[in-house]
Amino acid sequence: MQNVKIVLASSSPRRRELLGIFGLPFDCVPAVGEEKTEGYASCEALTEGLARQKALEVAAKADGDTVVIGSDTLVELDGAKLGKPRDEEDAFRMLRALSGRTHRVCTGLCCVRGAAVLSGVEITEVVFRELSDGEIRAYIASGEPMDKAGAYGIQGKASLFVEGIRGDYFTVMGLPLCRLGTMLKELGVELL
């Protein structure tokens, strides 16, 4: 691979795992600035904007040949944006609302190398089966939903809730790999 340093502007274990698939060395440097969420009219605009904020913040401290990857994920149901739950009751409320419904997962992605800034958003529809209150409570008791947008992780125990998806599975996990590969290639980084 080229002599390019890659930095993931995230502390998400799922994003680290996904980027690690390619066997390339990278560092994790989470953005620490306050997220500015005002002025975004849609879930798509908000996640793309937050991904840009993260990537640009970290890139401002990096050298010009470093590629910084920022990402942000939200779940959207009936126009309402569902981030990470505040507590177990918030998680219950979210999962009860998602039960038996189709929702959208929006993941914004931004890659920065020097003056080049590429960003976009991927959207995947996820269909949940009907969930009983007991199933929701048992899932919450596992601790798994507490650090995830929409209070679930598709790659974990919540896979039992998912009847189907339309779109990129990795978008739901928080790092749309196909889109990322295209952006990195445009910035001169080949993943294969």
Catalytic sites, residue numbers: 72
E runs forming strands in the chain = 5-8, 27-28, 66-77, 80-82, 102-113, 116-128, 162-166
* Residues 71, 108 contacting (CB under 8 angstroms): yes
How far is the C-alpha of 129 from the C-alpha of 139, rounded, in Å? 14
Region for residue 91 given its phi and psi (left: phi exceeds 0; alpha: psi -120 to 50; beta: otherwise): alpha
How far is the C-alpha of 71 from the C-alpha of 118, rounded, in Å? 12
* Residues 75, 104 contacting (CB under 8 angstroms): yes
| 21 Cβ contact partners less than 8 Å away, ≥ 6 residues apart | 177
